[in-house]
Amino acid sequence: LAPWVPVVGLEIHAQISSNSKLFSGSQVQFAAPPNSLVSFFDASLPGTLPVLNRRCVEAAVMTGLALNCSINKKSLFDRKHYFYADLPAGYQITQQRVPIAVNGSLSYSLCIDNKMSQMVTKTVRIKQIQLEQDSGKSLHDDARSQTLVDLNRAGVGLMEVVMEPDLCCGEEAAAAVRELQLILQTLGSSQAVMAEGQLRVDANVSVHHPGEPYGVRTEVKNINSIRFLAKAVDYEIQRQIEELENGGTVLNETRAFDSKLGCTIPMRDKEGKQDYRFMPEPNLPPLILYDSKSLPANMNHQQVINIDWIHERLPDLPSVKREKLVEQYGILPEHSFTLLNEDGLAEFFESVVKQTQMKPKKVIGWILKDLLSYLKQHSLTVKESPVSSFLLADLLNLLEKKEISSTAAKQVLVELWKGEGKTPLEIVKEQKLELLQDQKELEQICQTVIDGQENEVIMMVLG
Amino acid sequence: AALTDRLRSQVSAALKEGRVAPTELCQRCLALIKSTKFLNAYITVAEETALKQAEESEERYKRGQPLGILDGIPIAVKDNFNTAGIETTCASNMLKGYISPYNATVVQKLLDQGAVLLGKTNLDEFAMGSGSTDGVFGPVRNPWSYSKQYKEKCVPKSHSEDEDSDWVITGGSSGGSAAAVSSFTCFAALGSDTGGSTRNPAAHCGVVGLKPTYGLISRHGLIPLVNSMDVPGILTRCVDDAAVLLGSLAGHDPKDSTTIQDDFKPFELPNLTDISKLSIGIPKEYNAPGLSSEILALWSKAANLFKNAGAKVVEVSLPHTRYSIVCYHVLCTAEVASNMARFDGLEYGHRSDTKDSTESMYAATRREGFNDVVRGRILSGNYFLLKQNYEKYFVKAQKVRRLIANDFVKVFRSGVDILLTPTTLSDAAPYTEFIQEDNRTRSAQDDILTQAANMAGLPAINIPTALSERGLPVGLQFIGRSFQEKQLLTVAKWFEKQVQFPVIQLEEVKRHDSGVFQHQKSASFS
């Protein structure tokens, strides 16, 4: 059987972290009472006009720069028309002709064969980043034959990140999205929490034989977590392969991922292919961005965005942070990945290192094995940890000074998890876990034990 | 003070000097609106709020603290501008009963300066039309239909026929506003102008109609027809008053990203005496097919007037004029299709009772809410925006638009200051004749002389010039350079003084206005 080459391209919508919406002054807030964050413009009241939110543009520029894109100094806004209950104006304002950023790349790492020790770096090309409006939410109440519409989300700023189809499987897709998520969170341009709908991923999947043209692709939507992304992509690849090997065809359709069944199903028919009748948005002039060279001398600073100024102020991206951690603390690259993967863990680690004499290379073990596994077991975030960095550092200091054994340290840790407010030293004293250094004392204890177990000793001596 | 007074030069002064009170002025206007109800110029008369505003104005005058020239002045606003608390219908079933929660920026500015909002005027549905005949509240009648001047010239068809059937249209789509100003029920009115919708009815109703430069006055709150061409229009009795309104409305609005950022300085118009440095351009393509010989002669006479007074008058060419109708049609319908997409019955406005599905609700709502004209334009527009048609229609039309705009650039660069053209092809048609042709045909014909200024974003103004043989107003149009309203209005004012257009003689106004007989003969008040 000829091998199959899967092709996966992702379209990611990241909600911009801003106080107000992309084109209006209403607030951006998750889980507010329905229709409580809707301005006249959001409700598409006739005669209202869009006014571009500066913070959203800055977020897009930051993201574009972080993804090595060229920032278009002139970009345009367009209307994309379709009728749907959650789209009050009957069109979405987006950037179809000339988006704000193009031609970038995202590097991410994969473990080979699930071994953290063997990581390989891969790159996926970023086709473009465009600014666009989010839609509202509609809930279908079939029981009462009605649709409930909540426009709180309508008009919230989105950055759509379009990736070239360079990915080949669920694992790559998951790793790439995870890295993008970390980048967005580091920049602060999006909180990128998938569970809150701040990061939405659609996957375009197709398969073909090497040397042949690309196959028909399907679009997979309704993916609510990175784990499900990997599952959905892999399932779809398999489904298409099976379909084709059985002599069937792949339809160019949109499918939804059903997380319970673990499969993709065709979505409700949206009347075949839509013609969105794109048209320039006449109420928004072209978006002009400047850099230090092109910035006119007497411009009102309130009215301009300087790309270079933003570039200079970009924080360290995750990849740079990881390198620094490895260099500074002598930890392994895969350790740095785990540290950055958990929100707050890297900071926790660094905090402990500061407060203890134990070498970072040893501290990392306690962080990644003991602390992290406990947090995972109890579904806690680092912030929710009952054991603070101070307490852990305190404990590790006892270990480092050889006042307790490592077995004892683990016991103390178990006590600390209870969060009863006791210090490591108090627990050690309570449970008499001190390491005895006095030779004579040790001999006495051994003698007492032997004395108390005469029969067992004789059995042992006799073999 | 009389209802026939000019705003700046007469009634404003009368208010300031206490010769007339704002409440009295308001009441007289409201009474005249009632007696001229047959004109159907108003859709909504906001009697209570107007009187309240007049009272507040009166208080300010008593304290000696009027807000400005517009304080206490009754004005009317076309019903496609949002007015908080007062119905805004766009003369459509889609928005019947719609009470907007906000004021359009231009409305807010007028109110902030103490103007008294009498009501919302009638129009073609959603401003689509050139007759003000296609709204759901019925057609607007041109006040000149009832003027002594028209009745004298009018040959009745037969004695048994209803006197009423000879009435002529106002032109459109801001016919209600033009009729309101023309019949003296208000001292100024707001219209809108997308392809001539302020200048056309101004010409037919014998009033001044100003289309400002695109980007000068905020469109926030003006329910759009074509976003890239719409402007709020100003209708007044004289050019000086238009300058007053312009001064109170122009300027950057952060809520409208298409307004320019530059500071706008309101100006008073000088009285030109020497026009020898002026260069007037006469675009030959505006001798358009269908132009009545009467208007052609008047245009010629006007050109000579300038020449004889020492100005340089040259023939110029705007070669792409003849493409403007189709170009306008493509771009207008495309934007209409887009702008009307929001009317789905979900958030506001008419909603059909159909409960089968969201789609069927949308379809029924839009069928019930829009008239044929609107639906026709939506269908055309969507056709032009289809992926396979976009390049050859929409993009092509944009390119042609650029050529049309460049025609003007070239002409103005060659040393011409102002262009002089006719505003309409003929005087106002009788209603019965007008409705023989459909809206699209009419719009295509009537807009030819006014459209190009919208395509190029240029300021243009209609000045009532003379009465036709039928006793109806004929106006001429001046087109100026971008943002050079001062120059445009200065020249227009000079011309206005020369032609001394007669005051309409309306029976109803005579009854309401004590002082009208004295003003009958002369129209020059400055």
Answer whether A43 sits within 8 Å of B390, measured CB to CB.
Answer: no
Which residues of chain B neighbour A150 with C-beta distances below 8 Å?
A: none
Kindly state whether residue B358 falls inside one of the protein's structural domains: no
Q: How far is A42 from chain B (nearest CA, A)?
A: 11
Nearest chain B residue to A270 by CA: give it: B359
Structure tokens at B377: 């334009």
Kindly state whether residue B360 falls inside one of the protein's structural domains: no
Question: From the list B362, B385, B387, which residue is nearest A83 (CB)?
Answer: B362
Distance of alpha carbon A11 from the chain centroid:
15
- Mutant choice from B105, B344, B366 vs A, greatest count of A C-beta within 10 A: B344
Write down the pLDDT at residue B40. 98
Write down the pLDDT at residue A151. 97
Structural domain including B148 reads 8-153+165-324+397-499
Closest CA to B483 of B231, B208, B172: B231
Confirm or reject contact between A435 and chain B (CB < 8 A). no
| pTM passes above 0.80 | yes
Confirm or reject contact between A89 and chain B (CB < 8 A). yes
Answer whether B362 sits within 8 Å of A278, measured CB to CB.
Answer: no
- Given a contact cutoff of 8 angstroms between Cβ atoms, the answer to whether B208 and B241 are in contact is yes
Write down the pLDDT at residue A453. 80
Which residues of chain A neighbour B254 with C-beta distances below 8 Å?
A: 51
Which residues of chain A neighbour B378 with C-beta distances below 8 Å?
A: none
Which residues of chain B neighbour A141 with C-beta distances below 8 Å?
A: none
- Mutant choice from A38, A45, A80, A302 vs B, greatest count of B C-beta within 10 A: A45
The CATH number given to whatever domain includes residue B195 is: 3.90.1300.10
Q: Among all residues of B, which ones are annotated catalytic?
A: 78, 173, 197
Write down the pLDDT at residue B158. 54
Amino acid at A384: E
Kindly state whether residue B352 falls inside one of the protein's structural domains: no
- Mutant choice from A35, A49, A92, A150 vs B, greatest count of B C-beta within 10 A: A49
Nearest chain B residue to A150 by CA: give it: B347
Which H/E stretch holds residue A280?
strand A279-280
Chains A, B: CB pairs < 8 Å? 101
Residue A77 — left, alpha, or beta (φ > 0 → left; ψ -120 to 50 → alpha)? beta
Which residues of chain B neighbour A91 with C-beta distances below 8 Å?
A: 338, 341
Residue B491 is given by DSSP the state H
Positions of chain A with pLDDT lower than 70, given as ranges = 1, 113-117, 268-272, 463
Write down the pLDDT at residue A462. 79
Q: What are the residue ranges spanned by the domains of chain A?
A: 5-288, 318-431
Amino acid at B43: I
- 526 residues of chain B, pLDDT tens digit each: 788 888 888 999 999 999 999 999 999 999 999 999 999 999 999 999 999 999 999 999 999 999 999 999 999 999 999 999 999 999 999 999 999 999 999 999 999 999 999 999 999 999 999 999 999 999 999 999 999 999 988 776 555 455 567 899 999 999 999 999 999 999 999 999 999 999 999 999 999 999 999 999 999 999 999 999 999 999 999 999 999 999 999 999 999 999 999 989 999 999 999 999 999 999 999 999 999 999 999 999 999 999 999 999 999 999 999 999 999 999 999 999 999 999 999 999 999 998 888 889 999 999 999 999 999 999 999 999 999 999 999 999 999 999 999 999 999 999 999 999 999 999 999 999 999 988 878 877 889 999 999 999 999 999 999 999 999 999 999 999 999 999 999 999 999 999 999 999 988 777 776 543 333 333 332 2
Question: From the list B221, B222, B334, which residue is nearest A279 (CB)?
Answer: B334
**How many domains would you assign to chain B?**
1
Confirm or reject contact between A79 and chain B (CB < 8 A). yes
Phi, psi of B209 (to 5 degrees): -130, 115
Reported in sequence order, the residue ranges of A113-152 that DSSP labels E, i.e. its strands, are: 115-133, 137-141, 146-150
Write down the pLDDT at residue B516. 37
Answer whether B346 sits within 8 Å of A85, measured CB to CB.
Answer: yes
Q: How far is A301 from chain B (nearest CA, A)?
A: 14
Nearest chain B residue to A82 by CA: give it: B341
Instruction: List the Cα angle B165/B169/B173 in 5-degree steps.
Output: 150
CA distances from residue B181 to A284, A459, B4, B114, B207 in whole angstroms, order as listed: 34, 122, 9, 19, 7
Mind listing the pLDDT tens digit for each residue in B204-242? 999 999 999 999 999 999 999 999 999 999 999 999 999
- Alpha carbon distance B442, A45 (integer Å): 30
Write down the pLDDT at residue B444. 79
**Sequence-separated (6 or more) residues with CB below 8 Å from residue B375:** B366, B367
Kindly state whether residue B348 falls inside one of the protein's structural domains: no
Which residues of chain B neighbour A284 with C-beta distances below 8 Å?
A: 257
Nearest chain B residue to A300 by CA: give it: B261
Answer whether B347 sits within 8 Å of A282, measured CB to CB.
Answer: no
Please provide the DSSP assignment of B249-306 as one string: HBS--TT-TTS--S-----PPP-----TT-EEEEEGGGS-TT--HHHHHHHHHHHHHH
Q: Which residues pair with B188 in a beta bridge?
A: B75, B236
- Given a contact cutoff of 8 angstroms between Cβ atoms, the answer to whether A141 and A167 are in contact is no
Cis preceding-peptide flag for B300 (omega within 30 of 0): no
Question: From the list A46, A51, A275, which residue is nearest B257 (CB)?
Answer: A51
Reported ipTM? 0.94
Kindly state whether residue B335 falls inside one of the protein's structural domains: no
- Given a contact cutoff of 8 angstroms between Cβ atoms, the answer to whether B206 and B182 are in contact is yes
Question: From the list A49, A81, A284, which residue is nearest B220 (CB)?
Answer: A49
Confirm or reject contact between A147 and chain B (CB < 8 A). yes
Question: From the list A40, A85, A285, which residue is nearest B258 (CB)?
Answer: A285
Write down the pLDDT at residue A153. 97
Which residues of chain B neighbour A44 with C-beta distances below 8 Å?
A: 342, 347
Answer whether A284 sits within 8 Å of B257, measured CB to CB.
Answer: yes
**Sequence-separated (6 or more) residues with CB below 8 Å from residue B357:** none
Kindly state whether residue B248 falls inside one of the protein's structural domains: yes
Write down the pLDDT at residue A136. 96
Nearest chain B residue to A280 by CA: give it: B335
Phi, psi of B491 (to 5 degrees): -65, -45
Pairing of the two strands B231-236 and B208-211: antiparallel
Which H/E stretch holds residue A8?
strand A5-15
Q: How far is B41 from chain A (nearest CA, A)?
A: 22
Confirm or reject contact between A288 and chain B (CB < 8 A). no
Question: From the list A52, A89, A279, which residue is nearest B257 (CB)?
Answer: A52
Answer whether A49 sits within 8 Å of B228, measured CB to CB.
Answer: no
Answer whether B338 sits within 8 Å of A88, measured CB to CB.
Answer: no
Nearest chain A residue to B104 by CA: give it: A47
Structure tokens at A262: 């673990």
Closest CA to A79 of B255, B229, B394, B218: B394
- Alpha carbon distance B413, B417 (integer Å): 9
Nearest chain A residue to B385 by CA: give it: A277
C-beta contacts of A269-276 below 8 A and 24+ residues apart: A274/A82, A275/B386, A275/B387, A276/A80, A276/A81, A276/A82
Question: From the list A44, A277, A283, which residue is nearest B227 (CB)?
Answer: A283
Confirm or reject contact between A81 and chain B (CB < 8 A). yes
Kindly state whether residue B519 falls inside one of the protein's structural domains: no
Write down the pLDDT at residue B135. 95
Answer whether A43 sits within 8 Å of B348, measured CB to CB.
Answer: yes
Question: From the list A51, A151, A275, which residue is nearest B386 (CB)?
Answer: A275
What is the per-residue burial (b if ≥16 Cβ within 10 Å, else e) of B111-123? bebbbbbbbbbbb
Confirm or reject contact between A45 and chain B (CB < 8 A). yes
Amino acid at B447: D
Which residues of chain B neighbour A83 with C-beta distances below 8 Å?
A: 341, 344, 359, 362
Answer whether B358 sits within 8 Å of A85, measured CB to CB.
Answer: yes
Phi, psi of A6 (to 5 degrees): -80, 145
Kindly state whether residue B382 falls inside one of the protein's structural domains: no
SS3 state at B352: coil
